[in-house]
């Protein structure tokens, strides 16, 4: 890794070496150096960000229910234990199950990754046996987490908006490639 200068060194360099020099060559050299310094500073700041911990997702734990156009929905999230969390989900409409999901969030070296599988009634899996949908954690702040698939086709945001409320936002591309946002307002069940 290239050693990066301090902010004080950068300020001294910029003050003593005006970027608006008469010579185009001098100016180009200074712009290239400034670009390298900025790249170095960005690389250093990214490299120093520690991976997020699965325990930071404890706000998602609980039995959550909602009623939507999809049907009656329920998510049961476990507390973090060891290196994972689990969720069992079901969607029921007109008294019949539409589909299920089994979800885990596992702590990886890079941070938590959500792994999701869908099932039809009868416990018939949709995804291939060894290929669940994977959603690495992309954003985390207190009571809010966003997971996004690497192919950018879907993202899930979990936002605890109150002691008994959690908003789950599913962003997805429809069959025509247009972005659709489904918002589910969950209540903590007793």
Residue tagged 């869908």 (tokens): 118
The dihedral formed by the CA atoms of 166, 114, 120 and 170, expressed in degrees to the nearest 10? 50
Domain boundaries defined on the chain: 7-47, 54-188
CB 63 within 8 A of CB 188: yes
Digits of tens for pLDDT over the chain (190 positions)? 444 555 555 455 555 555 444 555 565 556 555 554 555 554 444 444 557 899 999 999 999 999 999 999 999 999 999 999 999 999 999 999 999 999 999 999 999 999 999 999 999 999 998 999 999 999 999 999 999 999 888 999 999 999 999 999 999 988 888 899 999 999 999 7
CA atoms within 13 A on the CB side of 67: 2
CATH number, domain 54-188: 2.40.128.20
Residue tagged 């966003």 (tokens): 146
What is residue 66's predicted lDDT score, i.e. its pLDDT?
97
What is residue 44's predicted lDDT score, i.e. its pLDDT?
44
pTM over 0.75: no
- Of 152, 133, 1, 140, nearest to 58 by C-alpha is 140
């Amino acid at each position: 890794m290239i050693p990066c200068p301090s902010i004080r060194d950068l300020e001294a360099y910029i003050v003593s070496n005006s970027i608006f020099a008469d010579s185009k060559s001098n100016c180009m050299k200074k712009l290239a150096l400034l670009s390298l310094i900025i790249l170095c500073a960005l690389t250093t700041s990214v490299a120093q960000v520690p991976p997020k911990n699965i325990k930071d997702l404890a706000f998602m734990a609980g039995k959550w229910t909602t009623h939507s156009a999809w049907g009656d929905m329920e998510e049961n999230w476990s507390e973090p234990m060891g290196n994972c969390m689990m969720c069992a989900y079901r969607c029921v409409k007109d008294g019949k199950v539409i589909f299920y999901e089994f979800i885990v969030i596992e702590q990886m070296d890079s941070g938590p990754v959500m792994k999701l599988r869908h099932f039809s009634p009868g416990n018939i899996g949709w995804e291939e046996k060894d290929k669940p949908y994977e959603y690495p954690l992309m954003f985390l702040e207190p009571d809010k987490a966003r997971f996004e698939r690497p192919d950018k086709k879907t993202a899930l945001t979990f936002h605890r908006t109150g002691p008994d409320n959690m908003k789950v936002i599913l962003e997805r591309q429809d069959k025509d490639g247009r972005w659709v946002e489904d918002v589910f307002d969950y209540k903590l069940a007793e």
